[in-house]
């Protein structure tokens, strides 16, 4: 990377995991799906978390951001950049925020008055894409602190999918794997180098039409249509080379990385990806595949998994972590970070 004046680091991160757990059998039991499809056997999912009716994308993002700022112990006025990277920006009443950026509303709720605010759209890779941009701005000296947020209020996709005849609309079945949640990262200057590194960013646009999110037809809120097996194959066909190039680009030794988190489309697809990764580069130390009770939470997914790891005491200060991101498009991007100091005290 050129023109680096400063170093950067993840100062803190936080995720809000809604308390309400909805078991898979309540919305996608074997009798509900075409051909007695067993979604648990197919995906490894047990269910998802559902936000409260009053919690839209904005409220979810603010909850994570407040927790993140509390962990960092910094004043909101020190923040120079706020980026929102939620995919749908869906309110509790299923209205979708369009303009100006939802990041502006997040900043207003947090009392941030002088930050640049914008929204990023890069599907499930939006979070890492936003952090990459913020990281560059910090390293060039343009800004000191950046807050990256996302609130994914997406479980209305499940109701939309179920309103269709899934025999005829099988591309809606992937909508049954989503969950609600939110995430926030605070990125700031660092005295030490190499606290954050990124892979080369890739978009393999030949796969761009395999997952489409847009307004639902004849009902409020969004819909999603996914050619899931083709999209997964697109990832698997490129994954080994992507990881090999990423290790080289970031100057990392694969076997020394202490924790690895991949975008959890489903626990079973992560296992498949894990096998491809290990065949290409060797065994991973700690591959975190704990999305069985939260589902696919889009751009928030890595942070949701890391929050679970904090709660279970699996992550320690100074440990190295690789986040691997895939987003429809098809975007592929990885980020290597050092866990912030004091993480053991985060509640």
Partner 1 sequence: MVVIHGWKSAPLGRSGLLKSITNLSKKLIAETSIKLDDINIIIHGGVYRRNFRVEPAFATHVQDALGLKCTLMTQDSSHCFSFDVSDGSCSPYVVLDAARNMLRIKPGGYCLITLGDERPNPQSKWPYQPISCVMIASLEGEGPRLVSTSYDLSEFDESTCVNMTFDERKSRNVIGSNNAVKQPANTTDSQFVGKINWLSGRHMHEFLSQYSSGTTNLHRVVDQSGKTVTATWN
Task: Give the count of residues interacting with partner 1 (CB under 8 A).
Answer: 73
Residue 25 or 201 with smaller CB distance to partner 1: 201
The yes or no reply on residue 203 touching partner 1 (CB under 8 A) is yes
The yes or no reply on residue 101 touching partner 1 (CB under 8 A) is yes
Residue 77 or 317 with smaller CB distance to partner 1: 77
Candidate list 169, 189, 245, 272; residue touching partner 1; CB under 8 A: 245
Q: Which helix (H) or strand (E) holds 156?
A: helix 156-162
Strands ordered across the beta sheet of 7-16:
7-16, 181-190, 145-152, 81-84
The yes or no reply on residue 5 touching partner 1 (CB under 8 A) is no
The yes or no reply on residue 179 touching partner 1 (CB under 8 A) is no
Pick the piece of the chain touching partner 1 (CB under 8 A) from 163-171, 255-263, 317-325, 329-337. 329-337
- Helix H, strand E, coil C: the string for 186-202 is EEEEECCCCCEEECCCE
Footprint of partner 1 on residues 103-142 (CB under 8 A)?
103-105, 107-108, 113, 115-123, 125-126, 129, 132-133, 136-137, 140
Most distant CA atoms of the chain, gap in Å:
59
Give CA–CA dist 64/69, Å, rounded.
9
Candidate list 47, 188, 327, 340; residue touching partner 1; CB under 8 A: 327
Q: Which helix (H) or strand (E) holds 212?
A: strand 211-215
Residues 6+ apart with CB under 8 A from 299: 85, 86, 87, 123, 124, 125, 126, 127, 150, 152, 183, 327
Candidate list 9, 63, 71, 97; residue touching partner 1; CB under 8 A: 97
Candidate list 31, 54, 191, 218; residue touching partner 1; CB under 8 A: 218
Give CA–CA dist 237/186, Å, rounded.
33
Footprint of partner 1 on residues 45-74 (CB under 8 A)?
none
The yes or no reply on residue 221 touching partner 1 (CB under 8 A) is yes
Pick the piece of the chain touching partner 1 (CB under 8 A) from 64-72, 92-100, 188-196, 315-323. 92-100
Pairing of strands 145-152, 81-84: parallel
- Residue 232 beta carbon to partner 1: minimum distance, rounded to whole angstroms: 15
| Bond from prior residue into 330 cis (ω within 30 degrees of 0) | yes
Pick the piece of the chain touching partner 1 (CB under 8 A) from 171-179, 233-241, 314-322, 337-345. 233-241
The yes or no reply on residue 172 touching partner 1 (CB under 8 A) is no
Report the C-alpha dihedral over residues 238, 273, 120, 211, rounded to 10 degrees.
80
Candidate list 73, 206, 312, 347; residue touching partner 1; CB under 8 A: 206
């Amino acid at each position: 990377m050129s023109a680096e004046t400063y170093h950067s680091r993840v100062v803190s991160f936080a995720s809000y995991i809604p308390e309400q757990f909805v078991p898979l059998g309540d919305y996608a039991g074997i009798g509900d799906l075409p051909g007695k499809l067993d979604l648990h056997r197919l995906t490894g999912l047990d269910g998802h978390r559902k936000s409260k009716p009053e919690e839209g994308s904005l409220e979810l993002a603010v909850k994570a951001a407040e927790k993140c700022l509390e962990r960092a112990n910094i004043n909101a006025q020190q923040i120079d950049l706020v980026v929102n990277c939620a995919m749908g920006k869906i309110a509790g009443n299923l209205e979708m925020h369009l303009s100006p950026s939802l990041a502006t509303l997040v900043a207003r709720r947090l009392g941030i008055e002088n930050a640049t605010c914008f929204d990023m759209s890069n599907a499930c890779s939006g979070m890492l894409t936003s952090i990459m941009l913020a990281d560059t701005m910090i390293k060039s000296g343009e800004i000191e602190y950046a807050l990256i947020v996302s609130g994914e209020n997406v479980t209305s996709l499940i109701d939309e999918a179920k309103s269709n005849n899934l025999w005829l609309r099988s591309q809606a079945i992937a909508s049954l794997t989503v969950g609600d949640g939110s995430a926030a990262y605070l990125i700031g200057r660092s005295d030490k180098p190499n606290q954050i590194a990124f892979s080369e960013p890739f978009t393999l646009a030949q796969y761009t039409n395999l997952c489409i999110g847009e307004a639902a037809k004849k009902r409020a809120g969004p819909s999603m249509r996914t050619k899931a097996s083709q999209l997964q194959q697109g990832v698997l066909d490129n994954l080994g080379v992507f990881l090999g190039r990423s290790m080289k680009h970031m100057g990392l030794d694969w076997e020394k990385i202490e924790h690895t988190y991949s975008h959890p489309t489903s626990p079973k697809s992560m296992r498949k990806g894990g096998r491809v990764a290990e065949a290409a580069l060797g065994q991973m130390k700690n591959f975190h595949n704990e999305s069985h009770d939260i589902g696919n939470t889009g751009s928030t997914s890595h942070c949701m998994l890391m929050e679970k790891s904090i709660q279970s005491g699996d992550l320690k200060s100074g440990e190295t972590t690789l986040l691997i991101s895939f987003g429809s498009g098809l975007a592929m991007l990885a980020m290597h970070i050092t866990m912030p100091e004091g993480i053991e005290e985060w509640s």
